[in-house]
Structure formats: C-alpha cells, structure tokens
Amino acid sequence: MKLPDKVAIVTGAASGLGKAIAVRYAREGAKVAVADLNGEAADAVAAEIRAAGGQALGVAMDVTSEEAVNAGVAAVVAAFGGVDILVSNAGIQIVHPLEEFSYAEWKTMLAIHVDGAFLTTKACLPHMYRSGRGGAIIYMGSVHSKLASMLKAPYVTAKHGLIGLARVIAKEGAAHGVRANVICPGFVRTPLVDKQIPEQAQEFGISEEDVIRKIMLKDTVDGEFTTLDDVAEVAVLFAGFPSNALTGQSLVVSHGWYMQ
C-alpha cells in the first residue's frame, strides 16, 4: 500500500474523478474524507469504501462556502486526527460563447474552481504545517490548464489559475514539507463530460459522435478517452511522493492531446 494511515480529503468525491481517487486512496491504506456538495451521495460513497474494507467518512461540503469548508475540515481532523492530503477536485462545466455568459455564471465557475481551491487549501495547510509530517495538495486542473477551447472561457481561466496557485503553495509550503501539484487530464467519461456532448453538438450544429471524434479526441495520439484509473494513478503518485523534488508541477494525462 502506498498511502498507509495518511488522511486524505477529496472534494467533489461523490462522482467521477473525485470518487475514483477516493476509492483508490482507500485501497492504498488512506483514511478518506469523501467531501461533496451532495452530502447524501458523499455518505453513500464513504459507505461503499467501508463495505470494501477501507476507512472513509462522508462530508457535506460546498467548497464555495468558507463556513462549510472550515466545518468540514474540522470534522475530518476530529475524526481522523489531521490532514495529510488534499485533492481539490470539485468542479462543474458551463459552455457558451463568451458574449452569452452571464456574469453570474462566470462568478459561479470561478467560485467553485478557484475560490474552492483557495478555501480548502487555507483550511488544510495549518494542520499540515503543525503535524510536522508535511503534506500533499493536489489541484484538479485539466488540459485546459495549458490550452484553450472555444465556449470555455471561465473554465480555461480557472484551470490556468490553479497552476499559479500550486506554484505559490509549492514555495510557501516547502519549509514544512508541503508539496503542491496539478493533475491535468484530457477528456474522461464522467457525468461532467457526458453533459457537454449534447450541449456542444447543439452549439456547433454537429452530431454527438462528431463532438467526440472531431473535438474531444481529435488531437490525442490514439483517439482514446483518458480513464478514471489513469487519473487516480497520477493522484497516488503526487500524494505519495516522498520529497520536495516533485512540487509546483502540472502533469498532463491526456493520451498525448497536449504535449509539453
């Protein structure tokens, strides 16, 4: 096991990538807080992990609420004794051409992706600093942390911003052994992506099949989606890496869609 007795908080862990990471971390020996806006679904994932022999706690948490984030992190510390790993993963997608974005939609996107990363990091860092064990902060970026696509102005802005945040935390956390890194996946079949396929088909006036072939997977080396397991594997690497040698980085896992 690669994460024995580590305490991990994963946000947006009731679904998709967050759930896959939470399940994998538990299998690697971590005690996992499954945090999500949907508290019932978070409890259900935590129960699944416990039924499989792991340790997990469901936490209802809106990552855009300072109060909810602080209360959730405090509950995890009370239950598990600290926090060693934060995966700031909660996210949504809204697609429009820029001129059709309402200011409210723009603010919602930045609140979940960027404010959520700030608030959860701020709540977890003091516990990591105090423990003397260091820690790992992992942001869920995207290939859109590196490049742009039409219709995704706030998403691309937010995902680029997470790289800047990770670099600052890498510098500030280094003396305490706290590392910060960004995972940048290509398209993975989750509810977030499944929702976009018909939306983009309508915006561009093309078939759903063409959204997948001619937009989503067009620039991959093999026409394949990235998988939940691919992303969970990188999340284990960043969480378990034993030194400050791997910090301030962003790792693209996208079937070669973006190469750096």
CB 233 within 8 A of CB 168: no
| Least separation in angstroms between CB 160 and ligand NAD | 12
Binding status of residue 36 toward ligand NAD by CB under 6 A:
yes
- Distance between CA 196 and CA 113 in Å, rounded? 17
Q: Is 46 in the site for ligand NAD (CB under 6 A)?
A: no
**Which residues, 127 to 166, sit near ligand NAD by CB under 6 A?**
140, 142
φ, ψ for residue 140 (rounded to 5)?
-85, 100
Radius of gyration of the chain (CA): 18
The token pair at 169 is: 């935390």
Cα–Cα distance for residue pair 243/40, rounded to 1 Å: 36
**Interface with ligand NAD, residue 196, by CB under 6 A:** no
Burial letters 221-252, b for 16+ CB under 10 A, else e: eeeebbebebbbebbbbbbbbeebeebbbbbb
Using CB under 6 A as the binding rule, whether residue 25 contacts ligand NAD is answered as no
Question: Is 16 among the residues that bind ligand NAD (CB under 6 A)?
Answer: yes
Please, which residues have CB within 8 angstroms of residue 141's CB and are 6 or more apart in sequence? 159, 162, 163, 182, 183, 184, 250
Q: Which C-beta is closer to ligand NAD: that of 28 or that of 36?
A: 36
* Residue selected from 3, 8, 12, 200 as contacting ligand NAD according to rule CB under 6 A: 12
Q: Tell me if 191 contacts ligand NAD by CB under 6 A.
A: yes
Give me the least distance between CB of 117 and ligand NAD, in Å please: 9
Active site residue 155: yes
Catalytic residue among 25, 103, 139, 155, which? 155
Asked if 61 touches ligand NAD (CB under 6 A), the answer is yes
* Contact residue for ligand NAD among 22, 33, 57, 62 (CB under 6 A): 62
The pair of three-digit structure tokens given for residue 3, joined into one six-digit string:
């994460």
Q: What is the binding site for ligand NAD (CB under 6 A)?
A: 11-12, 14-18, 36-38, 61-64, 89-92, 112, 140, 142, 185, 187-188, 190-193
Catalytic residues: 155
